[in-house]
Amino acid sequence: MTSTAAESVRSLSSVAAARIRGLRAEAGLNQTQLARQVGLSRTAVSDREAGIKPVNVDELPAFADVLGTSIEYLLGLTNDRSPRRVAPGGGSMFAVSEGRDQLRARRDSNPKPSDP
């Protein structure tokens, strides 16, 4: 993974951590309650919120569902907190290719340092 890609992943992870922590608090849930609802341990939720461990892509739908928002909001791809409609067979209606294109555009807008 390039340093730019790694930075993008860290950025998405830190946004997700902050948004999960904030939405949990707004919902009046403690970490144990959220953990039960998303199927994780309290320690796992604490680690995700603190940024110690990144949110696993497989966990995002559960967090979004329980917290009443969208995966895109959790990742910082939108500031719209509204939950998205779910596509037939599960998953967000937000196109994966659209999200990929946004990440590529971000990557391409940050020039790579020139090699000496």
- Parent domain of 73: 3-109
Q: 8 lies in a domain?
A: yes
Indicate if the pLDDT at residue 23 is higher than 70: yes
Q: 25 lies in a domain?
A: yes
Residue 86: the pLDDT is 53
| CATH code for position 28 | 1.10.260.40
- pTM metric for this prediction: 0.68
Q: Which structure tokens are listed for 101?
A: 């294109």
Q: 98 lies in a domain?
A: yes
Q: 114 lies in a domain?
A: no
Exposed e or buried b for every residue in 18-31, given b needs 16+ CB within 10 A? Answer: ebbbebbeeeebeb
Residue 13: the pLDDT is 83
Q: 115 lies in a domain?
A: no
Tens of pLDDT, residues 49-102: 999 999 998 999 999 999 999 999 999 999 999 887 555 455 544 444 445 555
Number of structural domains found in the chain:
1
Q: 90 lies in a domain?
A: yes
